[in-house]
Amino acid sequence: MNINDLTNKLKEKNIKVSFQRIKVLEYLNNNRTHPTVDQIYNDLHLEITSLSRTTIYNTLNALVESGLVKLITIDDNTSRYDIDTRNHGHFKCQTCKNIYDFKVNIDSLSEKELKDFEINSKDVYFKGICPNCSI
């Protein structure tokens, strides 16, 4: 996805296009590591010295609200963000703290009990030790 595509995504969701918002979206597009606000801020701040943390929070809240970005709460204390909104699972290594994506057929889950519930998002979080750390 290039900047044009990102711009169009914002327009589709009626989020006004700004330099900062494009930069945040571009960052998420290039960094599929489920970054925290702090990671985004620290990296983008190097390039855009005037950038404020509040802008990142505002932007991410708008992006999540619109459905363009997925909020990940696999961490106890810190929100993480994922531009890949397709159904997939997240595995967090308790040693190296890395978060891995994995394919999972979330829709195959049988949930008859929820037939009267309106479901807006589904998340699958696994925790454990990744191969790199289990040696």
Q: Which residues are at the interface with a copy of itself (CB under 8 A)? A: 71, 73-76, 79, 89, 91, 94, 100, 102-106, 108-114, 116-131, 134
CA distances in angstroms from 39 to 58, 95, 107, 113, 122, listed in the order given: 15, 19, 32, 39, 25
**55 or 70: whose CB is closer to DNA?**
55
- In the block, tokens 């308790």 appear at 94
Q: Quick count: other Cβ atoms within 10 Å of Cβ 2?
A: 8
Stretch that binds DNA, among 1-9, 43-51, 104-112, 115-123 (CB under 7 A): 43-51
* 129, 97 Cβ separation under 8 angstroms: no
User: Whose Cβ is closer to a copy of itself: residue 15's or residue 37's?
Assistant: 37
76 near DNA, rule: CB under 7 A? yes
Look up residue 12 and give its two tokens.
């589709």
Which spans of this chain sit near DNA (rule: CB under 7 A)? Answer: 15-21, 36-38, 48, 50-55, 57-59, 61, 76-79
